Amino acid sequence: MYFSCSAPLVASCLFFSSVLISSRADDGHGSASVSYNQDSFKAGIDAKMNFVMFFAPWCGHCKSLAPTWNELGKIYNKLDDSPVTIAKVDCTEETALCADHEVTGFPTLKLFEKGGKSFKRYSGKRDLESLKNYVQEQVVGQDEQAQKGEAASEEKADSLVVLTDDNFVATVASGAFFIKFYAPWCGHCKKLAPTWDELAETYASRKGVSVAKIDCTQSTVICKQYEVRGYPTLLWFQDGDKVAKYQGSRSHEALKEYVDNMLETAAGAKKVEAEEQKTEDEPKQDVEVDVKGDVKDLTEENFKPFLSSRLVFVKFFAPWCGHCKRLAPTWEELAAKVKGEEVTIAKVDCTQHKSVCDANQVRGYPTLKIFRNGEHVADYKGSRSLDDLEQFVSQNLNKRDEL
């Protein structure tokens, strides 16, 4: 039977309780769990994950839970490397803190992520085994099954690249990476873990591609940089750049098919690029001699000089990019259409001339920008049909005439 009372009686209860226990916040609740006040609560939450019981000393259900909560504290708070603190807050002492966390009944049990940005409210059974299993499942992840799984997959773990804030940029700078952004407490991440290990093992001997993971509870800088908002998030990187987000089935077969398709696309693009290089007669000289018609290749060496006295519509691209490949024939047609006009249609391969693309704030492929006399005029965001692209060029030619 739950205790309930009217608002005046609650006020009287709180006052009476605070008088009796003002100097004994742990009375009847043991000392193994950490007692928080307003200040220590913030410090504790900032340090690591916390499982917190909000209670009132007069509450019958709180008293019943107190010995169990104390035992839970003995289990986890004595571990040197424990990722979770078992704590408690006396709401008759810390009324403002409990109000801030919308505590409306006792006991209220909440699991706070490190930093306190998110939490989960526990509403399961309150026996020690149930509480312990919850902590193991949501936070620690080191129950007997997990330990056996880790021991059985030591060799697979060697195939899986572990990324951090410190090594991310240098590690993914060259080659293809399929990366899992995850949190240890995430249920979906745990379900995916053995499949992800298996995927890493599948490509362990394959050159040019790596399967990796990064813990977003530890490597917050990188996860924020790539706007990871849910777990797990699976992203494909090529030579340091984010290319795509995977949103399909998480079965081994589906993931393998995706990796194979991405590798095939990249390989095909490189082959096409190599063949184009072989058929070029005078690639660099052409850029300087013929400035009208045909798509002109711009490089780190000639980008600024070439743009300095012209109207130039530039496509920033990557050879492996599917959207870029679909645009390529249209871009060639556009160059042929405007041949004879005072405009040049050009392109920059961002895998070869990264500094140019970085300087022009290229964040995705293809990026289309028009320049006049070396100055950026506008980004093109419209349809990539030939008619719309030609109309955009004409509008900018007319603006030049008006000037």
Q: Give the chain's length.
A: 403
Among 59, 98, 186, 223, the active-site one is 186
Sheet holding 108-112, edge to edge: 34-35, 84-90, 49-55, 108-112, 119-122
Count of Cβ atoms closer than 10 Å to residue 4 Cβ: 8
Among 98, 216, 321, 357, the active-site one is 321
CA 39 vs CA 27, 43, 52, 89, 115: distances in Å: 21, 7, 15, 12, 14
- End-to-end Cα separation, the chain, in angstroms: 84
Between CA 85 and CA 4 the distance in angstroms is 31
* DSSP assignments along 196-250, one per residue: HHHHHHHTTT-TTEEEEEEETTT-HHHHHHTT--SSSEEEEEETTEEEEEE-S--
| 189 annotated active-site | yes
| 321 annotated active-site | yes
Between CA 323 and CA 347 the distance in angstroms is 14
SS3 at position 49: strand
CB 152 within 8 A of CB 124: no
Residues 318-328 as b/e (b if ≥16 CB within 10 A, e otherwise) read bbbbeebbebb
| 223 annotated active-site | no
For 322, the token pair is: 């599917």
Among 62, 91, 216, 324, the active-site one is 324
Among 62, 98, 189, 216, the active-site one is 189
Between CA 77 and CA 61 the distance in angstroms is 23
| 13 annotated active-site | no
| Catalytic residue annotation | 186, 189, 321, 324
